[in-house]
């Protein structure tokens, strides 16, 4: 049964929440649109440039958000008889989690997905594309296997995630997942590296955007609060006054 599983396929998720687990590892990469996944209790939006690794027998929930297209790579037991490739797969799947892709990797993966869609019956091509994809991912991932004094978080990855999700609630567990760290490891490393807690860092990013919008737009405070991911105008005004020493309305009048 497992050996008949399609190693790779391009799918679209329905806008209905589904959940399951399976006995094989799986890589999911967004090609277009948005989807939402919950893996091991961590929820994240998946959009182009993002993907997730799902370990075998890991419960996960997923739903499409509007039109979407995903590249799904299934890796059943015995998928590869190549020792080196088996080692790459083992390195990739130390644990489930989310990941970012750089622009070069995104372009290569889009091309691979196009070839897979155009030639669904060419099993040799499907396997070759899958192997190439695994090599790309293995090269660009920096999976954390433990905390040490020289370990550093790629803040660019964190900033990119915050920027693209700033109008949503962002949790520490989400940020930890995209850099393959446990929540406690991420918290300790992040604070040591930036001198801020993750929550304070996210709040500062929201307020930076709010200041920009106050300066450059004629949006209402309620609209700005929503765009910047605050629960409402009241919580936005309180946070702004607490960190900036002035109300957003007064700040805007002084510009």
Q: At what angle do helices 83-92 and 123-140 cross, to 10 degrees?
A: 50
Tell me which residue of 114, 125, 14 sits closest to 66, measured CA to CA.
14
* Average pLDDT of every residue of the chain: 84
- Identify the pLDDT of residue 147: 43
- Which part of the chain is CATH 1.10.10.60? 147-255
CATH of 2-140, one of 2.70.98.40, 2.60.120.280, 2.40.50.140, 3.90.550.10: 2.60.120.280
Distance CA 137, CA 128 (A): 14
Q: What is the pLDDT of residues 155-201, one digit of tens each?
A: 988 998 899 899 998 988 888 878 877 788 888 899 989 999 999 99
| Residue 26 bridge partners (DSSP) | 54, 74
Average pLDDT of span 126-150: 67
Question: What CA–CA distances, in Å, run from 81 to 25, 77, 144, 156?
Answer: 16, 10, 27, 37
Q: How many residues are given for the chain?
A: 255
- On the question of pLDDT at 85 being above 70, the answer is no
* Token output for 76: 């059943």
Instruction: Determine how β-strand 50-54 pairs with β-strand 25-39.
Output: antiparallel
* Token output for 143: 């999976």
- On the question of pLDDT at 58 being above 50, the answer is yes
Average pLDDT of span 223-231: 95
Residue ranges of E strands in 7-131: 8-11, 18-20, 25-39, 42-46, 50-54, 60-75, 97-100
- Which part of the chain is CATH 2.60.120.280? 2-140
Q: What is the pLDDT of residues 16-45, one digit of tens each?
A: 999 988 888 899 999 999 999 998 778 888
- The HSE-up count of residue 204 (CA atoms within 13 Å, CB side) is 9
Check if the beta carbon of residue 142 is closer than 8 Å to that of residue 181: no
Give the pLDDT band of residue 87 (cuts 50, 70, 90).
low
- On the question of pLDDT at 80 being above 80, the answer is no
Which CATH superfamily, name and number, covers 147-255?
Homeodomain-like (1.10.10.60)
The answer, as to whether pTM is greater than 0.75, is no
- The HSE-up count of residue 118 (CA atoms within 13 Å, CB side) is 8
- 78 sits in the region (left: phi over 0; alpha: psi -120 to 50; else beta) called left
């Amino acid at each position: 049964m497992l050996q008949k599983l399609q190693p790779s396929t391009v799918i679209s998720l329905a806008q209905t929440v589904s959940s399951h687990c399976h006995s094989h590892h799986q890589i999911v990469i967004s090609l277009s649109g948005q989807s939402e996944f919950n893996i091991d209790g961590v929820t994240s939006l998946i959009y182009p440039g993002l993907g997730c690794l799902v370990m075998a027998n890991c419960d996960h929930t997923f739903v499409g958000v509007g039109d979407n297209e995903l590249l799904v790579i299934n890796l059943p037991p015995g998928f590869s008889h190549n020792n080196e490739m088996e080692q790459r797969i083992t390195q990739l799947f130390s644990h489930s989690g989310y990941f970012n892709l750089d622009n070069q990797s995104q372009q290569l993966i889009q091309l691979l997905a196009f070839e897979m869609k155009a030639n669904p019956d060419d099993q040799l091509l499907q396997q070759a594309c899958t192997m190439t994809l695994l090599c790309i991912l293995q090269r660009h991932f920096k999976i954390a296997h433990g905390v040490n004094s020289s370990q550093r978080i790629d803040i660019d990855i964190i900033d990119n995630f915050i920027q693209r999700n700033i109008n949503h609630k962002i949790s520490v567990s989400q940020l930890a997942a995209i850099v393959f760290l446990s929540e406690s490891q991420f918290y300790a490393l992040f604070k040591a590296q930036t001198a801020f807690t993750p929550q304070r860092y996210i709040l500062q990013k929201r307020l930076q955007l709010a200041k920009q919008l106050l300066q450059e737009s004629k949006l209402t405070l309620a609209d700005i609060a929503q765009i910047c991911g605050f629960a409402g105008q009241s919580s936005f005004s309180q946070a702004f006054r607490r960190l900036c020493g002035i109300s957003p309305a007064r700040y805007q009048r002084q510009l």
